[in-house]
A and B are shown apart, each in its own frame.
Chain A
Amino acid sequence: MFLINCPFCGEREQSEFKAGGEAHIVRPKQPTELSDDQWAEYLFMRKNIKGIQFERWNHIHGCRKWFNMVRDTSNDEIKAVYKMGEKPPVK
């Protein structure tokens, strides 16, 4: 259990949120030209980092808005949250 600072609602319990997996996976611009390997890469392959990971979250039992998070997956410490479309923090 940890607290998440929703960029729209402020600090709430993690149980109000739904994790949406790795962030910044860009949807292919021309899907018809993708090879099977590239599709597999886009659909299935994940970084699954132990350490600092960029991910998407949804405040599903709150404002229901999506946002991004930087989190250390080795101890669940949240480093930053930022809105969709914003550039991820450098540090």
Chain B
Amino acid sequence: MKNKYSIFSLIKNAFSYHENWEKAWKDPEPKKEYDVVIIGGGGHGLATAYYLAKKHNMKNIAVVEKGWIGGGNTGRNTTIIRSNYLWDASAGLYDHALKIWEGLSQELNYNVMFSQRGVMNLAHNLQDVRDLKRRTHANRLNGIDAVYLNTEEVKKFCPIINTSPDIRYPVLGGTLQKRAGTARHDAVAWGYARGADEMGVDIIQNCEVKSIKRNGDAVEGIETTKGFIKTNKIGVVAAGHSSVIANMAGLRLPLESKPLQALVSEPVKPIIDTVVMSNAVHAYVSQSDKGELVIGAGTDDYVSYSQKGSHDIVEGTLNAILELYPIFSRMRMLRQWGGIVDICPDASPIISKTSIKGLYFNCGWGTGGFKATPGSGDLFAHTIANDEPHKLNAAFNLNRFVSGDLVDEHGAAAVAH
């Protein structure tokens, strides 16, 4: 049993200069065999292991990660959480996640700094206005809080936005989801890792998967840089590298991996207390608790695993940011980075069984996976444990690309890439 984090443990450890905190998770060598191996130690993978142990009573679980946990897209996103998706299937999926977020810090005994500061999506042309109004109605029918705001209401909610009718893409209105917000991305990975570790999950870092061993149409194990691991169930949560892993098993996926960039400014005093996203001009911004502006840029249109991205993408985003927020004109940007996102043709994820027995994929989250982390882990764990999808992820199967029953969230998902 791990020591509980509390005000008392904080005071107690202060006396020893915080040098004697118990390790949050072990660093084990892999065992010879596991009941389930999760490939990918990001938020989704760790959450999957956590819920497999917690809700499905599985004990012999490993998470293998080629780098360090949370070092991929979990630590590279802009931490936005919302559930205002258009289609019923997406609304169910993302709101399931949002409901778990609301109690996650308590459940994990780890402060994920979930802050329901609201997410506002702006409209810049008549089609935007129609789309956003339609989405507001769809959200409400699905029990998701959403309101449509006119230009004055947008200005009132976030006064630093330039709502002048004279700018190139004037603000014509917007939607607001008040339950939406942000969370501390690293803490999500660390909290799930600590929780999973406590229930006996082996988190094996610096362990890259080299091949997947198959016996006919079933999996038998994985060859890794730390040796062979025998297992009958493999859950792949490898984000941008999903196609690489699929290729090892002889499976084809409908994914393209592209760089998605983000950047942060120097820290300043509180200036924006919400998240504002703009689809049409592709700019979104929030402020971290450290005071940095966190700005999300777009994806490049070419396949790349280089975690870099093109400069003109960042330039385009900053142009839009400056037009919408003239107050930021003298802000200096501190850091810029890229993450490799796996994008599905319909911009919806895949949480699915495959044609290979014992091989499951959780991928295709594209540019918006962070918000779904708890829900994704919960539903993927259900799918792996029962060899059947949960009703909330049934629509997100791999077979939809054959049947044509796509969940098209391009554009409809409030921000398009």
Interface residues of A (CB under 8 A from B): 1, 14-15, 18-19, 21-22, 36-37, 39-41, 43-50, 53, 55, 57, 71, 73-76
Inter-chain CA distance A81–B80, complex, in Å, is 39
Is the CB–CB distance between A41 and B306 below 8 Å? no
Is the CB–CB distance between A50 and B401 below 8 Å? no
Inter-chain CA distance A57–B243, complex, in Å, is 22
Inter-chain CA distance A45–B344, complex, in Å, is 10
Residues of A within 8 A of B255 (CB): 46, 48
Residues of A within 8 A of B345 (CB): 43-44
Is the CB–CB distance between B243 and A47 below 8 Å? yes
Residues of A within 8 A of B301 (CB): 18-19
Is the CB–CB distance between A45 and B305 below 8 Å? no
Is the CB–CB distance between A44 and B256 below 8 Å? no
A23 to chain B, nearest CB (A): 11
Check: B302 CB closer than 8 A to any chain A CB. yes
Is the CB–CB distance between A55 and B302 below 8 Å? yes
B 242-294 contacts with A by CB, 8 A: 243-244, 252-257
Is the CB–CB distance between A50 and B402 below 8 Å? no
Inter-chain CA distance A43–B344, complex, in Å, is 12
Residues of B within 8 A of A48 (CB): 243, 253, 255-257, 303, 342
Check: B214 CB closer than 8 A to any chain A CB. no
Residue of A nearest to B254 (CB): A44
Q: Given A46-B243, A48-B243, A41–B252 Cβ distance below 8 Å?
A: yes
B221 to chain A, nearest CB (A): 22
Residues of A within 8 A of B403 (CB): 36
A19 to chain B, nearest CB (A): 4
Is the CB–CB distance between B401 and A45 below 8 Å? yes
Interface residues of B (CB under 8 A from A): 241, 243-244, 252-257, 300-306, 308, 310-312, 342, 345, 401-404
User: Which one of A18, A19, A50, A57 has the greatest number of beta carbons of chain B within 10 Å?
Assistant: A50
Residues of B within 8 A of A1 (CB): 310-312
User: Which one of A48, A49, A50, A55 has the greatest number of beta carbons of chain B within 10 Å?
Assistant: A48
Is the CB–CB distance between B310 and A15 below 8 Å? yes
Residues of B within 8 A of A18 (CB): 301
Is the CB–CB distance between B306 and A73 below 8 Å? yes
Inter-chain CA distance A43–B252, complex, in Å, is 12
Residues of A within 8 A of B244 (CB): 50
Inter-chain CA distance A1–B310, complex, in Å, is 4
Given contact pairs A36-B403, A73-B305, A75-B306, a sample of 12 additional A-B residue pairs in the complex whose CB atoms are under 8 Å apart? A19-B300, A19-B303, A22-B303, A36-B404, A39-B402, A43-B345, A45-B254, A50-B241, A53-B303, A73-B303, A73-B306, A76-B306
Residues of B within 8 A of A74 (CB): 305-306
Inter-chain CA distance A76–B403, complex, in Å, is 35
Inter-chain CA distance A33–B401, complex, in Å, is 18
Residue of A nearest to B257 (CB): A48
Is the CB–CB distance between B256 and A46 below 8 Å? yes
Inter-chain CA distance A44–B303, complex, in Å, is 15
Is the CB–CB distance between B252 and A45 below 8 Å? yes
Is the CB–CB distance between B303 and A55 below 8 Å? yes
Is the CB–CB distance between A76 and B252 below 8 Å? no
Inter-chain CA distance A50–B244, complex, in Å, is 7
Is the CB–CB distance between A50 and B305 below 8 Å? yes
Is the CB–CB distance between A21 and B256 below 8 Å? yes
Inter-chain CA distance A4–B304, complex, in Å, is 15
Is the CB–CB distance between A46 and B312 below 8 Å? no
A59 to chain B, nearest CB (A): 14
Cβ contacts A to B, 7 pairs, < 8 Å = A18-B301, A19-B301, A19-B302, A19-B303, A46-B252, A48-B342, A73-B306
Inter-chain CA distance A62–B302, complex, in Å, is 18
Residues of B within 8 A of A76 (CB): 304, 306, 308
Inter-chain CA distance A36–B302, complex, in Å, is 27
Residues of A within 8 A of B302 (CB): 19, 55, 57, 71
Residues of B within 8 A of A37 (CB): 402
Residues of B within 8 A of A47 (CB): 243, 252
Inter-chain CA distance A49–B255, complex, in Å, is 10
User: Which one of B244, B302, B305, B345 has the greatest number of beta carbons of chain A within 10 Å?
Assistant: B302
Inter-chain CA distance A48–B310, complex, in Å, is 19
Is the CB–CB distance between A36 and B305 below 8 Å? no
Inter-chain CA distance A14–B311, complex, in Å, is 10
Inter-chain CA distance A46–B246, complex, in Å, is 11
